Amino acid sequence: MATTTPQHTVEGSGPGAPRPGGSGPARIARRLRIDRRYLPVVGTFVVLALILAIGGVRYDNFLSVGVLANLFINNSFLIVLAVGMTFVILTGGIDLSVGAVLALSAVSAAYLIDAGVPVAVVLPAVVLIGSIIGLLIGLMVHVFEVQPFIATLAGMFFARGLCFVIAPESIPITDETFVAIAGWDTWIAGQWRMTTSVIVALVVIGIAFYLLHFTQFGRTVYAIGGSEQSARLMGLPVARTKVLVYVISGTCAGLGGLLFAMYSRSGYSLTGVAMELDAIAAVVIGGTLLTGGTGFVLGSVLGVLVLGLIQTIITYEGTLSSWWTKIFIGVLLLVFVVLQRVLSLRKT
Amino acid sequence: MPATTGSRTRPAGPPGLRNLTHHTLFWPVVALVALLVANTIFSPDFLSVSILDGHLFGAPIDILRNSAPLLLVSLGMTLVIATRGIDLSVGAVVAIAGALSLSFIATAPDPGSVSTVIIAIAIALGLCLVLGIWNGFLVSVVGIQPIIATLILMTAGRGVAMLITEGQITTVTSAPFKTLGAGFWLGLPAAALIAYGVYLIVALITRRSALGMLVEAVGINPSASRLAGVRARTIVWTVFALSGLFSGLAGLILASNVMAADANNAGLFIELDAILAVVIGGTSLQGGKFSLSGTLVGVLIITTLTLTVTIVGISPLVTPLFKALVVIAVTLLQSPRVRDKLAARARQRAARPEEVAA
């Protein structure tokens, strides 16, 4: 894997004529001069365009700016979760705790605001809760060599249990400042509605993109996913990076909880059950391999949009019941995973 | 066994005791005993079993019965994990089994007849076996990572269960089906007899034949074991199929316990509990070795913990917190770094009397 990609990069960007031969998507990619690494993301993009086209043909008003803007508004917290998850999965780990941490952060926000703590203190505090849980998980994974699956599972149980200790019932948020922040919006070009949470999500995507592609930390993340042992032998700061990705994922989950609290104007212990699966599904549909080392943040964002669009289509269809969403997501996962498998078989 | 190890005397310390504390199951068993002791202190008649209407009653019997579904799921999970796999879809399969059997009984002309119930059970178990085979196909033939392959069914499976129940919570009354989860045979809960019976059969087959070793061989190195003549693909396929079948059986027991098919909540998080039980029991997620007795201890710890939380009067919603503490404690105690530290300390202590003697 690590040895073949550079060759292709050279091939794709070099002045030489595209080689004949190869088959299927690979050949198309070569003709279009698309780096092979981007193929899965291009695939996600094609699926997204396809769903948009199907929706546009079937329903009036589907291909409107409003639908797309709402897609971002309704999925902003999931975008933030998926971005954090991408970091962890790129190193070859997995984070099952994000759904529960999101709930914990939302519940704490509602509880603290209800107790009269000023919003300016609550906002950073609840994000910090996510960071701390991420840090603890990272230390468990790295120092005590607990498998990520088990460490984050413990984190999930811990956060979910803590939610119920703090507040078994739903707490509504009525604080004026918080509601004002949550309800603030702006119209771009008079049509595209942006809320606070969308802007936060976009900023998170921007930071993540910068971190992964323009810093040493980002390159170390990819290196660990490619081969942890090689990364260590190269003298890269494996320990620090491995702990940091869980801190990032935890922070994103904390932030996601805040966005969810803004979205629902309340904190409830049972929010975000199985949301970690949506986040993982979005990352996988976005073309990131669960073995680590390959994938892009923007792919994960596209993955979230695909999931959101499926939901939108099912709402538009009306006659289809909500459980079809799950079945469609499952089928889409299957298609993507099998495609990735076929692509990786071709390569070897 | 203790006598033979005791005769091989080494210079330092009682070896029998040291072997005991070094056994992989030592800490899990300590945790279980601690839980039981804590319960007995809290309510002194916790461990007492009484006979009522010819059936055995009491907290230990409750633990046996409540542990039945989790034991079945964990049993399949142990075998899957031993081949370096994981099965996330068991919860969805549990929901599908309950939904299918109860929907069939509800629409049957005679819900109370034994033949209806037998057909319902057969259909549900058949579908679950097919689902397990599907997982196995994705993993062993297509070559998808187990965690992703089963994630697909985990996501889609609950949708399928909802499709079967049409989003309703189907409730039925059928005496023969109710026996499965709430009935008694020979004074013992039927559910426990089924689960522990299956457990014994699997334990006998894997440990009294070479099958268990072959499963472990596949987990250590699939390609090496294939070159050595082990049919790795068939074995991986089989363990996933078995996991589906056992989950289906667990789903039937759970459904018969409440006699209602709730596609959303039946078997929710049971995959996590099962993985937890397996890991507490000392089976490594890296595959290559498994301990069925460890899984049994893990299952008993989780079931006892859940029951304890209820008895002590804490809201059952907080249970995840205690589970988290148990997982963290057990995994940290089993982690290589802590083990090395403990071993180093033991060696130091052992070395000192030797110096005195010399």
Average pLDDT over chain B, rounded to whole?
Answer: 84
Given a contact cutoff of 8 angstroms between Cβ atoms, the answer to whether B87 and B146 are in contact is yes
Q: Is residue B347 part of a domain?
A: no
At B328, the pLDDT band (50, 70, 90 cuts) reads: confident
Distances from the Cα of A339 to the Cαs of A310, B290, B338, in angstroms?
Answer: 20, 33, 42
A323 and B159 in contact (C-beta within 8 Å)?
yes
Give the confidence band of B11 by pLDDT, cuts at 50, 70, 90.
Answer: very low
> Does residue A210 register a pLDDT over 60?
yes
What's the gap in Å between the CA of B275 and the closest CA on chain A?
A: 8
Q: What is the mean pLDDT of residues B283-291?
A: 85
In this prediction, residue B332 carries a pLDDT of: 81
In a domain, B26, yes or no: no
Structural domain range at position B254: 67-313
pLDDT greater at residue A283 or residue B27: A283
Give contacts of A149 with chain B, Cβ < 8 Å: 86, 147, 275, 285
The verdict on residue B256 lying in a domain is yes
Between B318 and A134, the higher pLDDT residue: A134
Closest in B147, B318, B335 to A161, CB measured: B318
CA geometry: angle B188, B193, B198, nearest 5 deg: 170
CB-closest option in B158, B318, B337 to A144? B337
In chain B, the DSSP E strands lie at 50-52, 55-57, 170-171, 184-185, 188-189, 260-261
Instruction: Identify the weakest region by mean pLDDT among A93-107, B54-68, B77-91, B121-135.
Output: B54-68
What are the tens digits of pLDDT across the range A46-78? 889 998 998 888 888 888 888 889 999 999 999
B315 contact residues in A (CB cutoff 8 A): 164, 168
Q: Is residue B94 part of a domain?
A: yes
Please indicate, yes or no, if residue B47 is contained in any of the structural domains: no
Q: Which residue has the higher pLDDT, A197 or B328?
A: A197
List CB contacts (< 8 A) between A281 and chain B. 151, 155
- How close B209 comes to chain A (CA, Å)? 31
Sign of the torsion formed by the C-alpha atoms of B291, B295, B297 and B301: positive
Q: For B319, which of A153, A161, A273 is closest by C-beta distance?
A: A161
Indicate whether B140 belongs to any domain.
yes
For the cut 70, the answer to whether the pLDDT of residue A191 exceeds it is yes
Number of domains in chain B: 1
Which conformational region is residue B261 in: left (phi greater than 0), alpha (psi within -120 to 50 degrees), or beta? beta
Q: Would you say residue B31 lies in a domain?
A: no
| pLDDT for position A346 | 66
**Each residue's pLDDT tens digit, B215-229:** 999 999 888 888 888
Note the pLDDT of residue B288: 85
**How much is the pTM?**
0.83
Which DSSP letter does residue B141 get? I
pLDDT digits (tens, 9 = 90+) for B13-59: 455 666 666 677 887 888 889 888 888 888 887 787 887 777 777 88
Question: Regarding predicted confidence, which is higher, A110 or B349?
Answer: A110
The fraction of chain B above a pLDDT of 90, given in percent, is 35
Q: Give the per-residue pLDDT at A20.
A: 46
Q: Is the pLDDT of residue B353 over 70?
A: no
Whether residue A323 and residue B167 make contact (CB cut-off 8 A), yes or no, is yes
- Is the per-residue pLDDT at B286 higher than 90? no
Interface of A with B in 163-222 (CB under 8 A): 164-165, 168
Specify the higher pLDDT residue, B68 or A39: B68
> Considering only CA atoms, which of A104, A21, A99, A133 is closest in space to residue A273?
A99
Q: Is residue B55 in some structural domain? A: no
ipTM: 0.78
**β-strand partners of A188:** A192
Name which residue leads in pLDDT, A45 or A40: A45
How many angstroms separate the CA of residue B107 from the nearest CA in chain A?
21
CATH of the domain at B206: 1.10.3470
The listed range with the strongest mean pLDDT (A301-310, A313-322, B13-22, B316-325) is: A301-310
- Distance separating alpha carbons of residues A159 and B321, to the nearest angstrom: 7
- The lowest-confidence range among A2-6, B22-26, B201-205 is A2-6
pLDDT at A31 over 90: no
Contact criterion met (CB below 8 Å) for A249 and A87: yes
Query: Is the pLDDT score of A9 beyond 70?
Result: no
B contact residues 114-133, partner A, Cβ 8 Å cutoff: none
Q: pLDDT class for B62, splitting at 50, 70, 90?
A: confident
Which CATH topology does A65-347 take?
Answer: ABC transporter involved in vitamin B12 uptake, BtuC (1.10.3470)
Whole-number pLDDT of residue A323: 80
